[in-house]
Amino acid sequence: MLRPFSMLGEVEGAVFDERVSIVLNKPGVDGLSEVVRVLREWQYDGAPLQLHPGDIGWYWRFGAEATAAAIRTWSRDGRILAVGLLDGPDLVRLAIAPDAQNDEELAQQMVADVTDPERGVLPRGSVSVEARSGALFRGLLVENGWAADEPWTPLCRDLTDPVEDCGVRIAVVGPERARVRAAVQRAAFDGSTFTDERWQAMAAGLPYADAQCLVAYDDQGNAVAAATVWSAGEWKPGLLEPMGVHRDHRGHGYGTAITVAAAAALQGLGSSTAIVCTASSNVGAVATYKSAGFRELPAVRDLRRSVPGAFLHTRHGDAT
């Protein structure tokens, strides 16, 4: 556990006022179930797309210990108010409890923690924060010199009505198809390190109890596209992450087909909507999601503290 913050200051040896303290914590493997629980609880339709339990589930491919090491929580009186995922060497992705969006003490402490490398959230140098909710927190970062980073496009599909047939054969992945699922992932994303062993680690994670992996096949029986969907519970938004088409089978509509199949799978898991977010520069992905019935929402931007000459961040989700 990391040291608490108090309005009395953070002077070495000071007595902290527990009534106003925010505690920054590394939850450990035993604490992951509570992190997943609160992230599920915080999802609701119409909210800004922020860190989802499915994001934790996808990271779980690296194993439970690595996932726990990448998580930070901010709590008051034992209640988690915010969760961060260190999704790469210089990026933290955040979610804030709906009733804590305007909590000034929480916002101030989170700004202090993501800014100070000694707090163990982000390193020195150029770093980014994904915070799509919490206007107070974002405003304080801007006041402290953080600037808007690259735009991302969220998209959403309502699942009230039945989802149409996707037009291709879809298989739900179990252990016997893990190798195929992993092979499509590697063929869809350059630099992917996804393997059937990592699929097994992901499938053993807590969030995967409400998830499915799908593989699409063409008429010749070739595995041509894959996707993973993550439910946050009945009548809550479900996440599509990731989705990819085999590089040898692009241009035939398989991206649209697997995305429609993913929406149907989320509907079957009880989700109210299907959500996804992709880099706005990836115009092909945006077009694919829209062709699958997703509605484009206003672009959002990470916030970045820049150092001249530094490289842009890479998410583990990008490298897959």
Q: What is the DSSP string of 218-236?
A: -TTS-EEEEEEEE--STTS
Whether residue 46 is found in the same domain as residue 106: yes
Between CA 227 and CA 185 the distance in angstroms is 9
Given a cut of 80, is residue 317 above it in pLDDT? no
Q: State whether 168 and 238 are in the same domain.
A: yes
- Both 220 and 265 in one domain: the answer is yes
Average pLDDT estimate for 182-205? 98
List CB contacts of 117: < 8 A, sequence separation 6 or more: 123, 124
Predicted pLDDT of residue 10: 39
Domains held by the chain: number: 2
- Distance CA(28)–CA(278), nearest Å, equals 29
pLDDT at 308: 55
Domain assignment present for 319: no
Q: Are residues 101 and 228 in the same domain?
A: no
Q: Judge whether 24 and 83 are in contact, CB under 8 Å.
A: no
My answer on whether 69 and 139 are in the same domain is yes
CA-based angle 205:285:261, to the nearest 5? 55
Estimate to the nearest angstrom the gap between the alpha carbon of 207 and the chain centroid. Answer: 12
Of residues 158 and 18, more confidently modeled: 158
CATH number of the domain at 106, please: 3.40.630.30
Q: Do both 176 and 140 map to the same domain?
A: no
Strand-strand pairing, 237-245 and 273-279: parallel
pTM, two decimal places: 0.91
* Claim to verify: residue 80 and residue 168 sit in the same structural domain: no
Residue after which a domain boundary falls, among 131, 148, 165: 148
Q: Is residue 308 part of a domain?
A: no
CA distance 178 to 200: 7
Classify residue 257: in a domain, yes or no. yes
**Helix residue spans in 154-244 (DSSP H):** 178-188, 196-203
- Of 148, 164, 182, which marks where a domain is finished? 148
pLDDT the model gives residue 320: 65
In this structure, is residue 73 part of a structural domain?
A: yes
- 271 occurs within a structural domain: yes
Q: Is the CB of residue 53 less than 8 Å from the CB of residue 205?
A: no
- Same domain (yes/no): 11, 120: yes
Examine residue 304 and state whether it is found in any structural domain, yes or no.
Answer: no
**86 and 136 co-located in one domain:** yes
Mean pLDDT rounded to a whole number for the chain: 92
Judge if 13 and 144 occupy the same domain.
Answer: yes
Task: Please list, in sequence order, all residues whose beta carbon lies within 8 angstroms of the beta carbon of residue 33, skipping any fewer than 6 positions away.
Answer: 206
Over residues 147-161, mean pLDDT: 97
User: What is the extent of the structural domain holding 170?
Assistant: 156-296
Compute the distance between CA of residue 58 and CA of residue 245 in angstroms, rounded to an integer.
18
Of the three residues 123, 148, 173, the one that is the final residue of a domain is 148
Give per-residue pLDDT as tens, 91-108.
Answer: 999 999 999 999 999 999
User: Distances from the Cα of 282 to the Cαs of 151, 153, 276, in angstroms?
Assistant: 10, 9, 13
Q: Is residue 227 part of a domain?
A: yes
Say yes or no: 23 and 126 in one domain: yes
Q: What is the distance between the alpha carbons of residues 214 and 259, in angstroms, rounded to a whole number?
A: 10
The H or E element that residue 74 is part of is strand 71-76
List all residues 6 or more positions away from 176 whose beta carbon is below 8 Å from its beta carbon: none
Provide mean pLDDT across the span 271-300.
98
Token digits of residue 264? 């149907």
Residues 140 and 199 in one domain: no
129 in a structural domain: yes
Does pLDDT of 42 surpass 50? yes
